[in-house]
Amino acid sequence: MSQPSKAAANSFGKRNGRAAALDRIFTGLVWGIGALVILFICGLLFLLLKNGLPKLTWDFLYGLPSEIEEGGGIGPALFNSFYLLFISLVISIPLGMAAGIYLAEFAPDNRLIGLIRICVEGLSSVPSIIFGLFGIALFVEMFQIGLTILGGAVSLAFLNLPVLTRVTEESIRSVPVELKNASFALGSTHLQTIRRVLIPVALSGIVTGICLTAGRAFGESAVIILTAGVTTSGEMWDFNLFSPGETLAVHLWYVQSEAIVPDAQEIAQKATSVLIFVVLLINLVFRVPLWFNSRKTKG
């Protein structure tokens, strides 16, 4: 490179002082606020985990709750959380995926389908408490079964349904059309193409969506309070669908605001840490293998 003349160097060196200062202030500000806020939120969550996790014992995780004395556990609530989650997913995954596949693959592009799509979007924006009210009207009033695990699980499934539908639709739509063409050109039926090409290729997106839904359902409380109640049957491993079904998230709220046990604060701290831990675990356990997997198929 040849040496630039002195005059030219000067004219490049001249900078608009105010704009440059603004730029520097702006960059500093963005760094500061961005890093601080994220650190702040993570710090708070870390604090919650730190307050709860070290105090956890098997007795607490497994033990029966106590209404009056100290030392109650969260066993039935924790069990109910998983049980409710499981039932709601069993109901909502097949329905949600089938609806998503319909929208992505079979639906002709007409007005009726536009309506279905608006319904799915609308349903996904309905506040969770509305699903609770719906659950009360359906199970408590119409079927007269009271506050039960079954009612809670079905209401929760309704809450999951639109999310699963959209995630499935989007994942399947994002599969390159070339792969679909290749499969059809080999003489496969639509079902075979969906089962052997579209779903396997879209799987990572679908699983991610299911994890998000599961995490959300695990921590959901408003729906459960209204439809499954704030008490448990008081027994461990109670598979009865008609038992009251308080979950861990509800228990956290209940202990903190309604219960009269002297160690409510400590129970709440421990329950919080369990809740965060499980939600993070659901996300990590299912999504990490997918990250590796996607790297492998790309390589």
Partner 1 sequence: MLDLNASAQAAAPAELGQSIRGGSGPAFDRKARLRWSNSIFRVACIASAVFVCLVLLCILFLMFRTGVLTFQNVSFREFFFSADWDPENDRYGALIFIFGTVALTLLTLVISVPFSVVIAVFLAEVTPSWLRNILRPVLDLLVGIPSVVYGFLGLTVLIPLLRDLTGNELADGLLAAAIVLTIMVLPTISRISDDAISAVPKKYRDASYALGSNRFQTIVRVVLPAARSGILYAVILGMARAIGETMAVVMVIGNTAQMPSSLFTPTAVLTSNIVMQISSVEFDSTWNYALYLMGFLLLVISLLMIVAVRFLQKRGARES
Partner 2 sequence: MQALIQIEKLNLFYGAFHALKNVSLEIPQRAITAFIGPSGCGKSTLLRTLNRMNDMIQGTRIEGKIEIGGTDIYSGDVHVETLRKKVGMVFQQPNPFPKSIYDNVAYGPRLHGIRGKKQLDEIVENSLKAAALWDEVKDHLKRSALSLSGGQQQRLCIARALAVEPDILLMDEATSALDPISTLKIEELAQELKDKYTIVMVTHNMHQAARVSHQTVFFLNGEVVEYSDTEKLFSDPSDQRTEDYISGRFG
Binding site for partner 2 (CB under 8 A): 108-109, 176, 178-179, 181-189, 192, 196-197, 200-201, 296-299
Among residues 85, 252, 259, 267, the one that binds partner 1 under rule CB under 8 A: 252
The 41-70 contact track toward partner 1, x by CB under 8 A, reads xx-xx-xx----------------------
- Cα–Cα distance, 218 to 232 (Å, whole number): 16
Q: Please identify, using beta-carbon distances, which residue of 105 and 238 lies nearer to partner 2.
A: 105
- Report yes or no: 251 and 74 within 8 Å, Cβ to Cβ: yes
User: Which of partner 2, partner 1, none sits in contact with 232, Cβ below 5 to 8 A by type?
Assistant: none
When the beta carbons of 17 and 187 are compared against partner 2, the nearer one is 187
Question: Restricting to residues 139-198, which ones interact with partner 1 according to CB under 8 A?
Answer: 140-141, 158, 161-162, 165, 189-192, 194
The binder of 197, among partner 1, partner 2, none, by C-beta within 5 to 8 A per type, is partner 2
Of the two residues 186 and 280, which places its CB atom closer to partner 1 in the complex?
280
Nearer to partner 1, 2 or 108 (CB): 108
Q: How far apart are CA 190 and CA 18, in angstroms?
A: 63
Residues 6 or more apart whose CB falls under 8 angstroms from that of 284 comprise none
The amino acid present at 292, given as its one-letter code, is F
Per-residue burial over 76-94, b if 16 or more Cβ lie within 10 Å, else e, is bbbbbbebbbebbbebbbe
**Residue (10 or 192) nearer to partner 2, CB:** 192
Distance CA 234, CA 64 (A): 7
Q: Binding to partner 1 by residue 86, rule CB under 8 A?
A: no
DSSP helix/strand/coil, 245:
strand
Q: Which is nearer to partner 1, 221 or 243 (CB)?
A: 221
From 72, 75, 76, 132, residue interacting with partner 1 (rule: CB under 8 A): 132
From residue 193, alpha-carbon distances to 16, 26, 95, 198, 200 in Å are: 61, 52, 19, 6, 10
The partner in contact with residue 108, picked from partner 2, partner 1, none with C-beta cut-offs of 5 to 8 angstroms by kind, is: partner 2
Rg of the chain (C-alpha set): 26
